[in-house]
Structure 1
Amino acid sequence: MNKETIIDRMQSYFSGENQKPEFDTGIEMDALQSFYVRTAKRLVIANELQKKDTIYRDDFFIALRDYLLVFETSLSLSNVIIPDDNPYAIKKDVANGKYYATFQFPEGVSSELAESAFMRSYSSEDVKKDYNLTTDSLIYSLTGFSAFKSMSQKLAVYGALRTPDGYTTLVALPTGGGKSLITQMLGYQTEGLTIVVVPTVSLADDQILAAKQIIKSKTVDQEVFSYKSGVQVTPIINAIQNRTARLLFISPEALMNNQAFESVLKVANKQHYIKNIVIDEAHIVVDWGGSFRVDYQCLEAWRKKLLLNNPGIRTILLSATFESKSIEILKKLFSDGNKWIEVRCDELRHEPRYIILKEKGYKNKDKKTIELVRKLPHPMIIYVARPDDAERVKKLLCDNGIRNTRTYTGLTNNDIREQLLKEWKANKFEIMIATSAFGVGVDKPDVRTVLHLYIPQNPNAYYQELGRGGRDQLPCLSVMCTYVDDLKFAFQRISKRVMTTEKIIGRWDSMFNNKLSIRDGAIIHINTAIKPNYHTKDEWDDRPVSDADMNWNIYVLLLLRRYGLIEIIDITNDNGIYIFSISIENDLLLNKGDEQTLLIEEIRSQEWAYYNDAYLTMERAITRSEGKCWSEMFFDTYDKVYEYCAGCNAHLRKNSGDTLAFPLKKSIKAPISVVEMDQKKIFESQDELIVLAGSEEKKKVIKFLESQRLSTLVASSSQLQEIDFYGSVSDGKTLFVVNSGDLKELLKKGNYYFVSGMVAILYPDDESEVFEIYKLVTKYLQHKLGIHIVHILSENFFLPAIGKSISDVIEGRVVLANDICAEMR
């Protein structure tokens, strides 16, 4: 739906000529069209709200300002009077009686950066390299997708699909890059069940809706499931028992605490029916699992128990970005250190424009906050440090006429959270005031401003929160508004994040020596509700006071686990109390004394150094924001990204690193695919084979090689079109298709994980091009461990540069297309 059509319908609606306009056309829209439609819908919702109750008049003005600026239009309003001195920069044209808005922003806000988030002069800015993005028959037959969105997505998908049995693969793919295709293809790669652990109910709903829309299976309703509170568990259990279930999206809490699931999965696992465990947004295991999402930490022990009976289970850890420390912890939790693969296509976000405002005092900051909410683009998330801060900001806005807001914190109960997320995604309100509890998995695509009124504890936490904006891959604003005391408050918060040595020892001693902690040989079952043997009251930010002792006890146990002093065998939930079954890995924990104190002090110092260093990175970025690019702290935090900033206080123009470089940021040299004995039969005693095939016969050869488990096909997009590639492949086969340029990029850094096993080269018919590809093959593929090569040519080309025909320089027999297919019947 184009802008003009929307403008016409909105004018008819506001002139009183029509009822509420309908915008859903059933036609697929791109991100920009979708944003236009949502902007118009929000104005209609705001208008209906203010017609029912005039206290929402200012909320209507906010939505109207957004609409007028986004659509670059004016609007006649019947029965609505807007004061001339309104603070929204909405004005009336006396000539035609229509209202329009002007780009007025608070002092310190760059007009150029702010206007971009209203889509002023928007155009897609990124240049794409000419990669071969062809999919394979598995993806095409299941989804109809003939091409990937990007080379990053392609590498991420095959990086996951090529994971050997028993391995763990960590996959980093940028937000909006299409991670959901990874889980969908894992679920259909082989017969069996893939369990996908997701952080929120809303994300589970999004995932299952997307899967059922994309996967072209007549029985998808018996294959793809999502479980949450209130959902009937019987159909899911029946599907697992009947071996029809392929994908199960579930939160860690539901997975850990549902007895029916535990029983049926135990049986399925013994029969090796569980094939994959996928943890979506896996950094949450570290970021949240150590505090208010304890069930994420249960996944380590749960997975280990499954592996005892089913060692071939593959584990896939997904996220957009990973901090080095997160990877270190995830590796400890989910692999033995050897069976570990990292597919790193990390990339800094291109959507945010960064604005840092430094106010002189508390009252100035409040005044600036009101201005920012009134004049920056919406929808908007306002992040604060604590639940009381959220309520204070809500009252501040309400006192200034802005009432249609909601708060979402660690104190918000689950039922209200679910309702808030539904209303948020349905555009029932435009401003969410939240703590860090409102985070990953909240996938509203069109958030245009993320406003921080506090300083997060480290760049990673900040980056995750600002990442709620621009998920539709359109420009957005990340604004931080501070005053001098905010740095002091931020440091106080990180000081509370790391317990003193004395308190760590006090809590450990209290748990270890308490009669509620039951010993079972070398295993100790620790009750985390035990109170410490000191009288100081320890608070826990953004959580009910009643949970503080259990949260801090869990913090201590996880700290000891991270540093290898204990092993967590199991975690169970006994009526809301977590019981940790552990074994002692360092005998110094057994008895109090100077040696134990020195040990705890050492690990506590390492923990503090991490938090302090990360905080100092934030502090330096704030103090230097006028002269140094704000996004450099992310470049320092994430070790596998290029620099990128679309604009900040230090520069208004895009600061782009080497964005055209190959997206795989870390080489994966092993493990490689192995050519099995049955595959070697077509090669006889050699590692290579030449197949002479005409244009029609090339289809047949590729189809035959697919039946022989062809691993990689080297061909250009135009070659594949000429031979009608999708008309020549078998259904349901995984095949990595690359052009010669992609092949060179991969193999010059030794990425044989992607290119090994049986490899086919589809040569062009141009003699000079044949020689160039042959040189590439000799350099990177010939005589490499684990690789057998099939050369598919239309004729036995003579290579003038070396004075020989291609059959003279390849150590392998020459066969005709029909003959090779006939041989293997």
Structure 2
Amino acid sequence: MSKKQLVDYAIRILNGEDIGIIEYAATDSVDDFRYKTVKRLIRAHELFRNNSDYIGDFLIAFRDYMITFDMPAAYHLKALKDIENYGMSYDVEEESFFATLQAPKYVNDSFVNDAFIKKESKKNKTVEGLLTDPMIYELTGYTHFKSMDQKLAVYGALNTPNGYTTLVSLPTGGGKSLVTQTISYQKDGLTIVIVPTVSLAIDQERVTKTVIKNRDNENEIFCYSSGVSAGPIIKAINDKKAKILFISPEAILENPGFAEAIKDANKGRYLKNVVIDEAHIVVDWGASFRVDYQFLEAWRNMLLMTNPGLRTVLLSATFEDKCVDILKNLFEIDGKWVEIRCDALRHEPRFCVDRAKDYEEKQKHILELIRKLPHPMIVYVSRPAEAEQIKKMLSNNGIRNARTFTGLTGSAQRRQLIDEWVDDQFEIMIATSAFGVGVDKPDVRTVLHTYIPQNANTYYQELGRGGRDRLPCLSVVCLQPEDTTIGRDRINKRVLTSKKIVDRWDSLYNNDLSKRVSNNRVFIDTTIKPNYSGADEFDDSPTSDADMNWNIYVLLFLRRYNLIRIMEVKIENGHYMILIEIKDERLLSIDDTLRAHIDELRGQEWNYYSSSYNRISESLRKNSIRCISELFYDTYSRVYEYCAGCNNHNYPIVGDSHKFPLKKRVTEPLRTFSEEQLRPFGDSTELAVSVTDNSIVDVVNRLAGKGLSTIVIPDNYEDSMELLQIGVKRNLLIISFSDMFNLQKCNAYYYTSGLICVVYSDNENDIGSQYLAIKNNVCGKPSTRVLHIIKRNVYISELGKNILELIDGPSILTSALYA
């Protein structure tokens, strides 16, 4: 649908025609955003037409439409009140409404203009080197990946050997979901995807059912949360029909039905993969109020004892070094660890920081920002009470179609909110961190923070809800002076004093309720009260719950610093019994030596939280002096610098152009060969296969059946689509000569070991350089066997020989290959 057609459609609606919403498949992200802008206008108009109290919702949608399409609009109701507060005016002579950008003075005009997506999209998106493979094509219909980053992430996970853990980073909006979807259907079996929020579980289920083609999705793809019947899911697992289950760590550990079904699936080796999505949360949340996250270590290790081939994948957009260290400490066993690092800073956000003089001015600014910045919009708050307060303020000002999403939102309501949010039934979501981690609404144009997040990583994850369609968006922070103190008070509640850590350990270990298994193993009862008198500070929960939470905090603290190992976690009478193994003998005696050691470790923990908060607080305070992206560049060690604009500068700072996205060497593990695979090579590591023009696809199909891992093709290879349609549906890394060279340059042999098939250009002038690239970088290695596909025995002028003379191995006909 053209821009003109969308405008004509909107005009008919504004003139009172009741034609409803038409369904439309957009051609690109800009086209999709424009269509949804009109869709939201129609919805807001319908609300206003039925109830004039929704005037603010209509004016927001009307303003968004006029600015995005850069044109005035007539409306059959000429007397609309309060339009000046929305940057709108009415021209009597023209009989039309006008909307001007009129951004608040504390927000950059050019950034707001960018985020309204007034420019045409770039139509010539390159897909060179981004071909998928026969299995992914059959499963999803995708012929190309979004980016090289996504391609490396997907094959990084698919190549994971049995029993290994692979950590994968891929920028927000880069398509991490495809990693989960492809490994779930790589083998016949179950993949459990552990997600941090109900909103993400629901959204991932919805997206996966949309993406996966020609499968029994309703009986293979599941999401569990409270309020959802577990029976059908457990039956599908027991019947070995379930392929993917999205679930929270709490449900896995605390629901006995799931625990038993997963145990049985694992014992029968039907459980193939455990994926922890947004894995940084294991560290960010698992150390405090979502303790089940760090209990996943013991749960996964118990599974490995009976199913040593179980694979684990840890996914996130970016990882701090400390986060990677902790995850590796928790999930690496016997060196079986792979890191696929495609970390990158987002290109979409434009950053603005507004500092109001006091609380009252901040509330006025929030209202103005919500009225005038582009939508859809997420407003992040620190507590549920603040979400309700802002919703009430908006309602009092005619904006009544905003919704809230917090930790207090019920499961059924969460599912409905996400469905309605994705369907554009409302365009303002007021939320705490309970919403948004991974929720895939691509066209969010503004993310507004009304508080200081605890660290740069939390901030970056939340602002990453915007611009997932890879179009410009705004990240705006609106603060007042007291917010800095309020934020620090939240940090103070994250770390116990060293004295209380020692006293709680003493209470747990030296108590009759804790059962000795051996000299260094003990089952800890987490309900034990501490020996010291009085209630803990910060307790806002029942005493028994508070004691259990702080006891678990202490055990997890000791685990993070390798003083203990957590061997098993059980639920008895509604509370945790945790089997630990003492690894540091200092824990056996409550004395000054132990106290000094705990004091040192507690100091490290406090310094981490405090310095992380200080960095983000200082960065927001000095937003006009320093580029805000320096905060992220300092936080993530494996990114290149990038900032599309902030209070410090209006122009982009680009440090990542023309860079290959793999940020860390992946030298191993490497594939091994079967005797059958090695048979045609004899003692050589390469061979030539003579083919006709029409038999290349047949050769590739035959090789795929023998475990082919990689196909190297020329850039702009004309028959690439035929490679996706071969009969053997399995994963094959199909890459260009230049990308093969880049992988070798990065020492990424993990991707390019095994059987490699090389297809040369039809242009004989290119074959010499292509052969030399393969010969010098791939051939002759113990971990590779190279099959050169030769149409003609061309003369290589650079080397003064025909190509068959140069290949150090036998030359065979197609008919003899694995005959």
TM-score (norm 1): 0.93
More displaced stretch, 802-811 vs 637-646: 802-811
Q: CA deviation at 1:301?
A: 1.4
Deviation at 1:236, TM superposition (A): 3.4
What is the CA distance between 1:349 and its match in structure 2?
Answer: 1.2
CA distance in 2, matches of 1:366, 1:244: 52
Aligned-residue offset at 1:168:
0.5
**Aligned partner of residue 260 in structure 1, secondary structure:** helix
Distance, in Å, in 1 between the alignment partners of 2:105 and 2:807 is 71
Query: Using a 3 Å threshold, how does the CA distance of structure 1 residues 160 and 388 change in structure 2: closer, same or farther?
Result: same
Distance 1:765 1:104, change over 3 A: closer
In structure 2, the CA distance between the partners of 1:291 and 1:31, relative to structure 1 (3 Å rule), is farther
Provide the rounded CA distance (Å) in 1 between the counterparts of 2:716 and 2:189.
36
Q: Aligned partners of 1:49 and 1:560: how far apart in 2?
A: 55
Contact 1:567–1:582 at 8 Å: present in 2 too?
yes
- Which of 691, 700, 724 does residue 702 from structure 1 map onto? 700
1:797 Cα deviation from its structure 2 partner: 2.6
The residue that corresponds to 2:259 in the other structure is 262
- The residue that corresponds to 2:15 in the other structure is 15
1:442-521 correspondence runs (5 A): 442-521=439-518
SS at 1:497's partner residue?
A: coil
Change in Cα spacing, 1:310 to 1:153, as seen in structure 2 (3 Å) is: same
8 A Cα contact 1:706 1:730, kept in partner: no
Within a 5 Å distance, the mapping from 1:352-367 to structure 2 comes to 352-367=349-364
Cα distance in 1 between the residues matched to 2:743 and 2:64: 45
Q: Which residue of 1 aligns with 2:73?
A: 75
1:620 counterpart = 2:579: no
Shift of 1:234: 4.2
Which of 775, 797, 800 is the matching residue for 2:797? 800
Question: In the alignment, is the contact (CA less than 8 A) between 2:191 and 2:274 conserved in 1?
Answer: yes
**Letter matched to residue 364 of structure 1:** E
Asked if structure 1 preserves the Cα contact closer than 8 Å seen for 2:203 and 2:418, the reply is no
Partner AA of 1:77 in structure 2: Y
**In structure 2, distance between residues paired with 1:383 and 1:492:** 18
- The 1-side partners of 2:238 and 2:121 are apart by 51
Map 1:280-295 → 2, pairs under 5 A: 280-295=277-292
Q: Which residue of 2 aligns with 1:814?
A: 811
Distance 1:464 1:242 in 2: 38
Q: Distance in 1 between matches of 2:120 and 2:185?
A: 39
Structure 1 residue identity aligned to 2:504: R
The worse-fitting range, judged by mean Cα deviation, of 40-49 and 685-694 is 40-49
2:244 equivalent to 1:247: yes
Residue correspondence of structure 1 range 15-164 to structure 2 within 5 A: 15-16=15-16, 18-19=17-18, 21-25=20-24, 27-79=25-77, 81-83=79-81, 86-124=84-122, 131-164=128-161
2: CA distance, partners of 1:208 / 1:409: 20
Contact 1:116 1:122 in 2 (8 A): no
**Given the superposition, is the C-alpha separation of residues 161 and 384 from structure 1 closer, same or farther in structure 2, using an over 3 Å criterion?**
same
Return the alpha-carbon distance in structure 1 between the equivalents of residues 735 and 301 of structure 2.
Answer: 36
Q: Residues 614 and 389 from structure 1, CA distance in 2 versus in 1: closer, same or farther, beyond 3 angstroms? A: same
Which secondary structure does the structure 2 equivalent of 1:696 belong to?
A: coil
Q: Which residue of 2 aligns with 1:666?
A: 664
Distance 1:405 1:518, change over 3 A: farther
Kindly provide the CA deviation profile for residues 548-581 of structure 1, in whole angstroms up to 9, marking residues without a partner as x.
4433332222111111112112223446533333
Q: Distance in 1 between matches of 2:485 and 2:590?
A: 35
Could you say what secondary structure the match of 1:169 adopts? strand
Which secondary structure state, in structure 2, belongs to the residue aligned with residue 582 of structure 1? strand
Deviation at 1:493, TM superposition (A): 2.6
- Paired residues of 2:350 and 2:645 also in contact (CA < 8 A): yes
State the shift of 1:545 in Å.
9.0
Q: How far did residue 743 of structure 1 move?
A: 0.8
Q: Is the 8 A contact 1:171 1:317 kept in 2?
A: yes
Amino acid across the alignment from 1:22: I
1:609 correspondence with 2:627: no
Q: CA RMSD for the aligned pairs? A: 2.6
User: For the residues of structure 1 that align with 2:160 and 2:167, how far apart are their CA atoms?
Assistant: 10
**Structure 1's 775 and 544: CA in aligned 2 closer, same or farther, altered over 3 A?**
farther
Unaligned runs of 5+ in 2: none
Aligned mate of 1:275, from 251, 256, 272 = 272
Cα 1:699–1:449, aligned 2, differ >3 Å: closer, same or farther? Answer: closer
In structure 2, distance between residues paired with 1:239 and 1:566: 37
Alpha-carbon separation, structure 2, partners of 1:277 and 1:102: 51
Q: Which stretch of the first structure deviates more once superposed, 56-65 or 444-453?
A: 56-65
Q: Given that residues 405 and 429 in structure 1 are in contact (C-alpha distance below 8 angstroms), is that contact kept between their aligned partners in structure 2?
A: yes
Say if 1:687 and 1:787, in contact at 8 Å, map to a contact too.
yes
Say yes or no: does 1:214 pair with 2:229: no
Q: CA deviation at 1:214?
A: 3.1
Distance change >3 Å, CA 44–CA 720, structure 1 → 2: closer
Contact 2:227/2:412, CA 8 A, preserved across alignment:
no
Instruction: Provide the rounded CA distance (Å) in 2 between the counterparts of 1:808 and 1:128.
Output: 40
Structure 1 residues 284 and 767: CA distance shift in structure 2, 3 A:
same
Distance 1:330 1:647, change over 3 A: same
Query: Superposed, which structure 2 residues align to 1:672-751 within 5 Å?
Result: 672-719=670-717, 721=719, 724-727=722-725, 729-751=726-748
Deviation at 1:449, TM superposition (A): 1.4
Any conservation in 1 of the 2:452–2:484 contact (CA below 8 Å)? yes
Q: Secondary structure at the match of 1:377?
A: coil
CA contact (8 A) 1:568 1:582 kept: yes
Change (3 A) 1:187 1:362: closer
> For the residues of structure 2 that align with 1:441 and 1:167, how far apart are their CA atoms?
25
Q: Work out whether residues 288 and 494 of structure 2, in 8 Å CA contact, stay in contact via their aligned partners in 1.
A: no
> 1:434 is matched with which residue?
431
CA contact (8 A) 1:667 1:750 kept: yes
| Partner secondary structure for residue 213 of structure 1 | helix
Give per-residue Cα distances to partners, 1:154-180, cap 9 Å, x unaligned: 111111111111111111112222222
Structure 1 partner of 2:170: 173
Which AA in structure 2 matches 1:251? S
Q: Within 2, Cα distance between the matches of 1:416 and 1:64?
A: 28
Q: Which moved more, 1:328-337 or 1:309-318?
A: 328-337
Q: 1:504 to 1:679 in 2, by over 3 A?
A: same
Does the 8 Å CA contact 2:199/2:436 hold for their aligned counterparts? no
With 82-91 and 153-162 compared, the bigger mean Cα shift is at: 82-91
Matches within 5 A, 1:396-435: 396-435=393-432
Mean Cα deviation higher: 666-675 or 466-475: 466-475
Q: Which amino acid aligns with 2:11?
A: Q
Q: Comparing 547-556 with 90-99, which one deviates more in the overlay?
A: 547-556
Counterpart in 2 of 1:539? 538
- 1:79: how far off? 4.2
What letter is aligned with 1:24? E
Structure 1 residues 122, 359: CA separation in 2 closer, same or farther (over 3 Å shift)?
farther
Structure 2 match to 1:193? 190
Matched residue, 1:568: 566
Aligned residues: 817
The aligned amino acid for 2:111 is L
Q: Which region of structure 1 is more displaced relative to structure 2, 299-308 or 216-225? A: 216-225
Query: Aligned-pair distance for 1:460?
Result: 0.6
Please give the alpha-carbon distance, in whole angstroms, between the structure 2 residues aligned to 1:477 and 1:49: 27
SS at match of 1:135: coil
Q: Structure 1 residues 427 and 143, CA, compared in 2 at 3 Å: closer, same or farther?
A: closer
Residues 200 and 441 of structure 1 are in contact (CA less than 8 Å); yes or no, is this contact kept in structure 2?
A: no
